[in-house]
Structure 1
Amino acid sequence: MIKIVKSEKSWIESNAVDQLKKIAALKGIINAVGLPDLHVGKTPVGASYMTKDIIYPHIIGNDIGCGIGIFSTGLKKSKFKIDKTMKKLEKLSSLENINDFIKDTDFPFKEKLGTIGSGNHFAEFEEINKVYDEKVLNEIEIKKNEIYLLVHSGSRRYGEYILNKYIKEYSCQNGLELGTDAFNEYMSEHNKAVEFANLNREIIAHKILSCVNGKESRKILGSVHNSITEKKIDDDIYYIHRKGAAPSDIGYIVVAGSRGSNSYIVKPMDNLFDYCFSISHGSGRKWSRFGCKEKLEKVYSKKYVRQNNMKCNLIYSDKNLIYEEAPEAYKNIERVIQDMVDEKMIKVVANLKPLITYKR
């Protein structure tokens, strides 16, 4: 079964739908869903699949464990000064000096722990912008008068190493069948990469908040949107492949907006079997990275870029990200959220307004 979640007002390119249908035709895939943020990738992003007795590592790609965490900061909204905080963050040239945190770990590529990475990965200071369900917000201990840090990052080179290994040694793009050594070995390494990515987000939060004199860095909510997870239904075991899709069965989730737009805290509904127990992880790309600069360099002049005066407070090292990660390159997050509300997939708890985006 293939399901596409969209309304008449939303836009999903036909190439993304074609990619989804191609993946859905693979052996052992029972359900496939394209979420409102569906867009083209090496395999379609914003998609989830349910399989039985077989897994396909290439579906979730090389950034195993990529996800989002929201962290407390202990910083009061009334005392948070954007200019002052940005000056401190500008001096944080790298997040790589983390020897005290990783000396007891046995991860490969642990020198990459504490690094955000390129592309759409980020750390972002947020404030509560609008509350839809104050009772739930209190339950998850998020307060309207405090600042929060949102971190989006993954397993860095580790996930890429794993995928390449299993493509080369086992042709995993053709599937790894349950009970085989290849299946068991991949899932073991996959799970370790997920742990790596979770630790990575925690270290990033700690380093950034230490830099700006944050009082704490406690993870409040977290989710992984590139993974293969086991799901037991009645007496059967299924495998949920999520590529740029957040799980609906772990509680409250943050759905990230693009740079300069709101993010949302949402409650997924129960038993979303038809949606492969998944919801959108973010707004989803509208334009390919490769065409963004050509489309936007007249909008954002060199002087405008140099002054860093661009709808949001952005700290970056690669100026190409100015164009590739511009808000215009992404779909409208409000439309993505509304499509899921209309489909009765989620309830909205609150939205978050970005204050500073860090992309080094």
Structure 2
Amino acid sequence: MSADIHIIASSGSWIEQSAIDQLHHSAVLEGIERVVGLPDLHAGRGIAVGAAFWSPGHVHPPLVGSDIGCGIALWQGDLPLRKFRADAAERKLHGLEGRWSGDAAAALGDAGLPADLMGEALGTIGGGNHFAELLRVEAVLDEAGFDASGLATDRVLLMVHSGSRGLGQAILDRHARMAGGSSALLADGAEGAAYLAEHDQAMAWAVLNRQVIAHRFLDRLGMAGTRLLDICHNSVTPHRGGWLHRKGAAPADKGLVVVPGSRGDLTYVVRPRSEAGDIALASLAHGAGRKWSRSETKGKLGRRVTAAALERTPLGGRVICEDRDLIFEEAPQAYKDIHRVVRDLVEAGLVDPVATLRPLLTYKVRRS
């Protein structure tokens, strides 16, 4: 039997048929009873991204995916906005792909993780759509909500988007080999319990990774910072007596959420409404969502846009990305309209926008 499927998107939103087809494929998986597609829904590697799935008794590792714990954290720096200089910041941000010089074993131990758990990767951003970004408050949309958020209009912000690096992939691969062709694991069975234990470790590793990345960036820029939020997009967690899988979906039950656009557009800070728990499986869009695949993006832009042009954005931001393929794959044109995505959330009664943030400098990767 197929699960109930609900797609939250207005008639003005474009969602590719392949993403809808993937939702329907997931809806017939063993034990899945509810499926929600969010306004940023797009096709993934077999599983739609921008979706949530609920089962009363099964966990499905593929519905979480290979980057367990991937998410976004937001820090507010102590640097006054008037003192920020993009040229100086760009010059200082070098060598952040290499191994962190701090004590990885101690940091892992303090987080309750094995001291030898991928310490060599700790504090690194990774590839794909991961990034670190300096921002400023663009507009306050809800004065009361803004005052309660801890945000200030005159400070530089740091947003970090990264996950569990190769750890999540290793966990997914291991359980795929053990599953023998079926993705369904009984949550209270031995294999389900083993997956959930490894999943929770990867989640904690990803949170720590974002923390170390932020420490590295803030230190390089001569700033201190306060973490305002950390939200996860890929996870499976207990929910209403069952198991809620999120694949590229932000939680609506953990406080404020940031919903980033592309590197060339604004990021929204939103306050979830309680209605999201019933309508959307306590989940929200995690960003703008891709409009074009990585391969077609370079094909569409490669002959008419230069890599140098992509290092500057329509909002005046800068982009540090010295991987030529990646700077095209992650071009702003490849993403949906973030304003439409957030309007869909608002019109569905799921969120109240609090503020918008403008990107100042987006860091992807440097060669040295």
TM over 0.5: yes
Structure 1 residues 20-50: Cα deviation after superposition (integer angstroms, max 9, x where no partner): 0110111211210110000000110000011
Q: Matched residue pairs, number?
A: 352
In the alignment, is residue 278 of structure 1 matched against residue 278 of structure 2?
Answer: no
In the alignment, is residue 227 of structure 1 matched against residue 232 of structure 2?
Answer: no
TM-fit CA distance, 1:249: 0.8
C-alpha separation in 2, matches of 1:327 and 1:199: 28
C-alpha separation in 2, matches of 1:126 and 1:102: 31
Structure 1 residues 193-219: Cα deviation after superposition (integer angstroms, max 9, x where no partner): 0000000000000001100111x2321
C-alpha separation in 2, matches of 1:95 and 1:137: 37
TM-fit CA distance, 1:302: 5.5
Residue 262 of structure 1 is aligned with which of 249, 260, 266? 266
Distance 1:167 1:355, change over 3 A: same
C-alpha separation in 2, matches of 1:53 and 1:345: 27
Match for residue 193 of structure 2? 184
1:168 maps to a residue whose letter is R
Q: Is the 8 A contact 2:8 2:37 kept in 1?
A: yes
What runs of 5+ residues in structure 1 fail to find an aligned partner? none
C-alpha separation in 2, matches of 1:359 and 1:173: 36
Identity of aligned residues (%): 39
Distance 1:24 1:303, change over 3 A: closer
Q: Is the 8 A contact 1:58 1:173 kept in 2?
A: no
TM-fit CA distance, 1:317: 2.6
What does residue range 186-201 of structure 1 map to in structure 2 within 5 Å?
A: 186-201=195-210
Structure 1 residues 99-148: Cα deviation after superposition (integer angstroms, max 9, x where no partner): 32444522522211101010100000010001111222221211011110
In the alignment, is residue 15 of structure 1 matched against residue 18 of structure 2?
Answer: yes
Structure 1 residues 268-320: Cα deviation after superposition (integer angstroms, max 9, x where no partner): 11142231110000000000001111110123235646xx4454301113111
Q: Is the 8 A contact 1:251 1:267 kept in 2?
A: yes
SS in 2 for 1:128: strand
2:23 maps to a residue whose letter is L
2:258 maps to a residue whose letter is V
Structure 1 residues 139-175: Cα deviation after superposition (integer angstroms, max 9, x where no partner): 1211011110000000000000000010112347430
2:19 maps to a residue whose letter is A
C-alpha separation in 2, matches of 1:65 and 1:164: 16
Structure 1 residues 332-354: Cα deviation after superposition (integer angstroms, max 9, x where no partner): 00000001100101100001000
Select between 107-116 and 344-353 the one with higher mean Cα deviation: 107-116
SS in 1 for 2:129: coil
In the alignment, is residue 161 of structure 1 matched against residue 170 of structure 2?
Answer: yes
Q: Is the 8 A contact 1:261 1:353 kept in 2?
A: yes
Distance 1:117 1:45, change over 3 A: same
Q: Is the 8 A contact 2:40 2:287 kept in 1?
A: yes
What runs of 5+ residues in structure 2 fail to find an aligned partner? 109-113
Select between 134-143 and 335-344 the one with higher mean Cα deviation: 134-143
Residue 215 of structure 2 is aligned with which of 206, 210, 218? 206
Q: Is the 8 A contact 1:95 1:207 kept in 2?
A: no
In the alignment, is residue 349 of structure 1 matched against residue 349 of structure 2?
Answer: no
1:227 maps to a residue whose letter is S
In the alignment, is residue 97 of structure 1 matched against residue 100 of structure 2?
Answer: yes
Structure 1 residues 70-103: Cα deviation after superposition (integer angstroms, max 9, x where no partner): 01211111111111111111x3353522332444
SS in 1 for 2:198: helix
Q: TM-score, normalised by structure 1?
A: 0.94
Q: TM-score, normalised by structure 2?
A: 0.92
Q: Is the 8 A contact 2:57 2:242 kept in 1?
A: yes
Select between 195-204 and 293-302 the one with higher mean Cα deviation: 293-302
C-alpha separation in 2, matches of 1:78 and 1:41: 41
C-alpha separation in 1, matches of 2:159 and 2:357: 10
Q: Is the 8 A contact 1:35 1:280 kept in 2?
A: yes
C-alpha separation in 1, matches of 2:105 and 2:258: 27
Select between 127-136 and 347-356 the one with higher mean Cα deviation: 127-136
In the alignment, is residue 119 of structure 1 matched against residue 128 of structure 2?
Answer: yes
Q: Is the 8 A contact 1:223 1:247 kept in 2?
A: yes
Distance 1:156 1:317, change over 3 A: same
* Structure 1 residue ranges (4+ consecutive) displaced by more than 6 angstroms after TM superposition: none
C-alpha separation in 1, matches of 2:253 and 2:11: 28
2:211 maps to a residue whose letter is E
SS in 2 for 1:174: coil
